[in-house]
A and B are shown apart, each in its own frame.
Chain A
Amino acid sequence: MSNPSTGASSKSKLGSSQPSETSFKRKRGVFQKDLQHMMYGFGDDPNPLPETVALVEDIVVEYVTDLAHKAQDIGSKRGKLSVEDFLYLIRKDLPKLNRCTELLSMQEELKQARKAFEVDEEKLGTLE
């Protein structure tokens, strides 16, 4: 399987120090536990069928792979891969785009809050 746009496929990886991490040989059940809860949340049975979960995992991995490859194609023009590339790819899908901007802004907010919290912790420490 060759992919001209990137040198590495999802099955093999070169130039990394940890062979177990790099050879992402599509291990079964990477997302399985989380997917079961997620599928129940979205409308499936409380115990989804294992073959369904495996299929959904395959589809999701393929989706993320395609998305990442496309983002890389876009990002390579700019130099490196960034979040903007992913946001550009989902620009047509409004629910996803809104959700992602929301997640990013929440993350910023939490970062600020954490920083402020650490400062307060110090103050509390000195007070006591």
Chain B
Amino acid sequence: MKQSKDPFEAALEEQEESPPDSPVGEDELNSQTPNEAQNQTDGGQNILVDDDDDDYDDLGPTIKNPSHPSSSSTPKLHSTSVNASVAAAVINKNKEYDDDEEEENVDVELSKFPSSADPTKMAKMQAILSQFTEDQMSRYESFRRSALQKSNMRRLLVSITGSQKISLPMTIVVCGIAKMFVGELVEKARMVMTERKESGPIRPCHIREAYRRLKLEGKVPKRSVQRLFR
């Protein structure tokens, strides 16, 4: 098992790994009122269950749950406790999140640190994150939490390949690849904008130029068959 987990990355992956029929996975960026209600009304064991879903999504749980039973048994809760500890610092800095799930009740066990996680890396991240401005923090949060929906990706892959058997790991991998590709596009578009000394929101012309440059660099797979009629 890979133990060198960045707590925020753990949060992000946990969000991506939420089971397909879990409503939280899909609604990750939308309002979470059903989950919130669920969390606040349930007690004891139910909160334990809800922690599964919420920990997948939350960048950081906010509220301690003193009535929480032995939560030290599972490794997953270890990682979520790391999320809690780091996110507690995060939430002190930035109270305004776009997503409602930041305010949800998730168990926080500050004492349990996964000792096998990369401590220097964690310390570095903590140091950097503590110095973020509000703007930077919200952007970083968007970066970590955004993802393409697995269901949509799966539908796209099924329609492309013609085969119904698209495994979950495949969907996850393609979502990850696509997200990084979007990142490359946007970053290159920003570079293009600074070269042209323009500012403001990114315009399609910048994206097209960025795409052209990526093609020249060979980062975009070339079509073996020309797409003649779109």
Residues of A bordering B, CB below 8 Å: 1-8, 10, 13, 16, 21-22, 24, 30-31, 33-35, 37-45, 47-49, 51-52, 55-56, 59-61, 63-70, 72-73, 80-83, 86-87, 89-90, 93, 95-96, 99-100, 102-114, 116-117, 120-121, 124-125, 128
With A106-B10, A116-B73 as known contacts, state yes or no: A86 contacts B156, CB within 8 Å: no
CB under 8 Å from chain A, chain B span 25-46: 29-30, 45
- Cβ 8 A contact of B145, one of A21, A37, A49, A55: A37
- Cβ 8 A contact of B170, one of A8, A45, A83, A121: A83
On whether the beta carbons of A63 and B201 are closer than 8 Å, the reply is no
On whether the beta carbons of B45 and A124 are closer than 8 Å, the reply is yes
A108's closest neighbor in chain B, by CB? B1
A87's closest neighbor in chain B, by CB? B173
Q: Which residues of A contact B145 (CB under 8 A)?
A: 37, 41
On whether the beta carbons of A109 and B1 are closer than 8 Å, the reply is yes
| B47 nearest CB across to chain A (Å) | 12
On whether the beta carbons of B169 and A107 are closer than 8 Å, the reply is yes
Q: Is the interface of A mostly helix, strand, loop or mixed?
A: helix
Tell me, in angstroms, the Cα distance from A4 to B183 when the chains sit together: 32
Q: Which residues of B contact A41 (CB under 8 A)?
A: 139-146
Which candidate, B82-90, B117-125, B204-212, is the interface stretch facing chain A? B204-212
Number of A-B contacts (CB under 8 A): 239
- Cβ 8 A contact of A63, one of B1, B5, B98, B220: B220
On whether the beta carbons of A63 and B178 are closer than 8 Å, the reply is yes
Which candidate, B57-65, B101-109, B160-168, is the interface stretch facing chain A? B160-168
On whether the beta carbons of A42 and B13 are closer than 8 Å, the reply is no
On whether the beta carbons of A83 and B167 are closer than 8 Å, the reply is yes
With A67-B221, A68-B160 as known contacts, state yes or no: A34 contacts B148, CB within 8 Å: yes
Q: Which residues of A contact B10 (CB under 8 A)?
A: 106
Task: Scan B120-162; emit 1 where CB is below 8 A from any A CB, else 0.
Answer: 0000000000000000000111111111110011011111111
B16 at the interface (CB under 8 A from A): yes
On whether the beta carbons of A22 and B182 are closer than 8 Å, the reply is no
15 further contact pairs, Cβ within 8 A, besides A86-B173, A89-B221, A116-B74: A24-B159, A31-B149, A33-B30, A40-B146, A41-B144, A49-B203, A56-B182, A64-B153, A66-B221, A69-B224, A87-B173, A95-B180, A107-B168, A110-B13, A116-B73
B197 at the interface (CB under 8 A from A): no
